[in-house]
Chain A
Amino acid sequence: MTKDILIVDDAENIVISLEFLMKKEGFNVRVASDGDAALQAMRDHVPDLVLLDVMMPKRDGYEVCQTIKASAEWQKTRIIMLTAKSRDVEREKGLAMGADDYITKPFATRELVAKVRKILKIDKG
């Protein structure tokens, strides 16, 4: 069964790479460029995983994360936070908001893919 991934980031230059990367891994990929669009996309179709950027205009990643985790129908959706903040507290804050994992920018694409596969319980190969 093909897993659905929602990429939420306002920076097009990372979105292009992430979309390419996830498609190459064989996922269904959708993209949202801000928090509101992300929640709208969630309502349209519940994804298995959200790659969620923290720093976004209007609704930031933490808020989106909290909203998703607070909703009963979206309980199964996993979240990986993409954080530009290298400070430990920012990571802790993400986890406290309910994120399942985080990855700090800049990251190795291989590491991200590994994290995604692990969280979605997909065996390697």
Chain B
Amino acid sequence: MSNRRKFWALFAVFMMLTLATFTWLFIEAYVAMPQVDSGTLSWFKHYSGFVVAAIFILLLILAQIWSWLEKSLIEPASKLERQTSIIANIASDHHIDIGSGHWFGELPDTVQKLGDSLSKTRREVREALATGAHGVERLEMVIKKLKTGIIVCDGEARILLYNSAVQDIFSGHNMGLGLDRSLYGLLTRLPVETTINHLLEEQNSSTAKKIEEASFYCSIAKSDILLDCTLALLPDHNINQSMFVMTLADVTRNMEALQRKDRLIRNSLDKFSSPMANIRAAAENLVSHPDIDVQTRDSFHKIISQEVATLSDLFYMASKEAQSIASGHWMLRDTNTSDLFLMLDRHLNKSGGPKVVMGGEPRWIQADATALLMALESVIFNIAQKSGCQTITIESLIGDALVYLDLTWSGEPIPAATVELWQKQAIIGGGDMTLGEVVERHGGAIWSQKHRCDGQSILRIPVPISTRQWQQPKEEIPERPEFYDFSRRDSTKELGRLAASSLSDLTFVVFDTETTGLNPSGGDEIISIAGVRIVNGRILTGEIFKELVDPGLPIPKSSTKIHGISNAMVAGAPGIDTVLPRFKEFTAGAVLVAHNAAFDMRFLQLKEESSGVWFDNPVLDTLLLSVYLHEDVIDHTLDGIAGRLGVEVQDRHTALGDAMVTAQAFLKLLKLLKNKGVTSLGLAIEASENMIQIRKQQEKARY
């Protein structure tokens, strides 16, 4: 009831009471009338009209006071209340109007001022957020598109951000790449830790000029891949550990080339020395002893001719090897010919040069794109001038270890002497750089010849091919928002402290297994295992574990019916002892979650010995949590829970599908747990254990 109604209700009550009192008085007076003496009666009869009028006037005055109070106090108050509520909840720029003649003095103006400043603050926050979000969005895109790998980690070396370049680098080794996972699952620990410690010491030292970043080489764990890393600490309050950002570049190829070059030089020096020694000794003998007998002389001649042949072979092999070493191309980068040709076309259009027609398949080449572009432009101008042909076709043809960039025109080939002359000329826009230099840098030859079509000629520029020619195009990473996550707080390592961890801070791996049967200790085996990670209340769909397992025994038809996995499907799949260590890596640092977890955990535990992997993670069971939350419900199957909580069910009875459903159900259960006050891991585990006890007692009671 509004204040105004209360107010008028009070008035009504008051009036009723007054009327009732008077009425009662009248009735009393009337009943008592015969006993009253006649004088009083006549007085009463005489004045009753006045009394009634007086009462009426009194009531009128009261009504007047009431409506006056209503106008100056109650009505403005309710107006103020309503409008303040509008300011607080709906539109903070609302203009307050409660009319005049109220008793609230400055209050409406003050509220108005409050509202205005609230409105202003809200607008500023909104603007700031928009700018911030825009900035973050742009930053996100820049980081994503960067070709350099970037990883940001927290003080415990857990990954908070990584970009697609990092994914490329670790593709094939990406078992350990994921948010909230340890960097040391990816990279060898020592160089990273040493660098961090060095930088921390530097930071805490008193020297004026501090080193802020450091570069080092580091290899990917369990592989030959070498990374060139640069690490910088990010500002942090903690002086003993700090967030850091790292850039990574795969330098395996460069290093390999350098090593090969080094080896080539060493080997050549060693191998060449022996034949040369033999030749020299024989030759010097011949020279210093002109009088030697024919037989000896012949033997020396033979030595010399044999060893020279050996030397020639060695020389040939060494020069072949030298050519195949890519280290000379260190300044060349992978370039796609279609990009190069498009740029060329644009350049020529701008400068009003000859028209180019592009042909051939796009190829990946190694090129100093800028220099090559300018060189091509110059050559095309030269050809047009020499041949008078204004349309020139450019195409890329794939050769042995080369890609030929062929310029084709109608007319005669350019004489070799002219090509030679062109090579000595500076290229357009290239400063002092000559065509010859650019050609030299890309493999060292350029020539003109007749085209296989009559009346046409080509000028051929061979350039080194790029290995990307044969690489499968990389899968685009799906657009997903969860490629970084700065919001996680420092979680604790020890299980004891873990118990106190808030459920919303923990990382979970929700998993499911498919098995040959339902009896783990009776010899049934895992045939499929899948898991998804939940970090900060989000299912990371980009970080999924999914493996088929060869159980080493035939899969019963009855079980194939359920999960659809046949013997043929697991043929060639790794064994459980190979898969479990990988799964262990996937679950590192996470709380395990499964529906009817005891079943899956039993399978894992039975394999501890043979796989050498122990799963000592804390475990939560969606079944037990569901029982805890909805004790009155009977159906706690995964389908039952999913139906009750409104989780869409897909791919049931595949390990990944079930894990997904379980994960979604788990997230909903977490919310319900929170409402019930179960906010920490310790409390959730305690609740689950109580449910086990209750279930056990129920079982006992049944028998």
| A residues adjacent to B (C-beta < 8 A) | 11, 13-14, 16-18, 20-21, 24, 55, 82, 84-87, 104-110
3 tightest CB-CB pairs across the interface, nearest first?
A105-B277, A17-B281, A106-B277
| B residues adjacent to A (C-beta < 8 A) | 266, 269-270, 273-274, 276-282, 284-285, 288-289, 292, 296, 299-300, 303, 306-307
Residues of chain A within 8 A of B306, CB atoms compared:
13
Query: Which listed residue, A16, A18, A86, touches B269 by the CB 8 Å rule?
Result: A86
B285 & A21 in contact (Cβ 8 Å cutoff): yes
- With A16-B299, A17-B300 as given contacts, are A104 and B273 in contact (CB-CB < 8 Å)? yes
Residues of chain A within 8 A of B280, CB atoms compared:
106-109
Among A13, A16, A55, A110, chain B packs the most CB atoms within 10 A around the CB of A13
Query: Which listed residue, A17, A21, A84, touches B273 by the CB 8 Å rule?
Result: A84
B281 & A14 in contact (Cβ 8 Å cutoff): yes
Residues of chain A within 8 A of B281, CB atoms compared:
14, 17-18, 21, 106-107, 109
A13-B282 Cα distance, complex, nearest whole Å: 8
A124-B421 Cα distance, complex, nearest whole Å: 61
B300 & A16 in contact (Cβ 8 Å cutoff): yes
A107-B270 Cα distance, complex, nearest whole Å: 14
A24-B286 Cα distance, complex, nearest whole Å: 12
In the complex, besides A11-B278, A17-B303, A20-B289, 18 extra interface pairs with C-beta distance below 8 angstroms are A11-B274, A14-B278, A16-B303, A17-B285, A18-B281, A84-B274, A85-B270, A86-B270, A105-B274, A105-B277, A106-B273, A106-B276, A106-B277, A106-B281, A107-B280, A108-B284, A109-B281, A109-B285
Residues of chain A within 8 A of B279, CB atoms compared:
106
B273 & A24 in contact (Cβ 8 Å cutoff): no
A13 & B303 in contact (Cβ 8 Å cutoff): yes
Q: Tell me the smallest distance from the CB of B352 to a CB of chain A, in Å.
A: 59
Residues of chain B within 8 A of A109, CB atoms compared:
280-281, 284-285, 288
A24-B299 Cα distance, complex, nearest whole Å: 16
A84 & B270 in contact (Cβ 8 Å cutoff): yes
Residues of chain A within 8 A of B282, CB atoms compared:
13, 16-17
Residues of chain B within 8 A of A14, CB atoms compared:
274, 277-278, 281
Q: Tell me the smallest distance from the CB of B505 to a CB of chain A, in Å.
A: 57
Q: Report 21 cross-chain contacts, Cβ distance below 8 Å, ordered by A residue.
A: A13-B282, A13-B306, A14-B274, A16-B282, A17-B300, A18-B281, A21-B281, A24-B289, A84-B277, A86-B270, A86-B273, A104-B273, A105-B276, A105-B277, A106-B281, A108-B284, A109-B280, A109-B281, A109-B284, A109-B288, A110-B288
A109-B307 Cα distance, complex, nearest whole Å: 17
B277 & A107 in contact (Cβ 8 Å cutoff): yes
Residues of chain A within 8 A of B273, CB atoms compared:
84-86, 104-106
A109-B287 Cα distance, complex, nearest whole Å: 11
Residues of chain B within 8 A of A106, CB atoms compared:
273, 276-281
Residues of chain A within 8 A of B284, CB atoms compared:
108-110
A36-B269 Cα distance, complex, nearest whole Å: 27
A20 & B277 in contact (Cβ 8 Å cutoff): no
Q: Tell me the smallest distance from the CB of A26 to a CB of chain B, in Å.
A: 13
* Chain B, residue nearest A86 (CB): B269
A106-B274 Cα distance, complex, nearest whole Å: 7
- With A13-B307, A86-B269 as given contacts, are A20 and B276 in contact (CB-CB < 8 Å)? no
A87-B269 Cα distance, complex, nearest whole Å: 9
A17-B300 Cα distance, complex, nearest whole Å: 7
A78-B589 Cα distance, complex, nearest whole Å: 68
A110-B278 Cα distance, complex, nearest whole Å: 14
Residues of chain A within 8 A of B274, CB atoms compared:
11, 14, 55, 84, 105
Q: Tell me the smallest distance from the CB of B280 to a CB of chain A, in Å.
A: 4
* Chain B, residue nearest A82 (CB): B277
Residues of chain B within 8 A of A20, CB atoms compared:
285, 289, 292, 296, 300
Q: Tell me the smallest distance from the CB of B16 to a CB of chain A, in Å.
A: 119
Residues of chain B within 8 A of A13, CB atoms compared:
278, 282, 303, 306-307
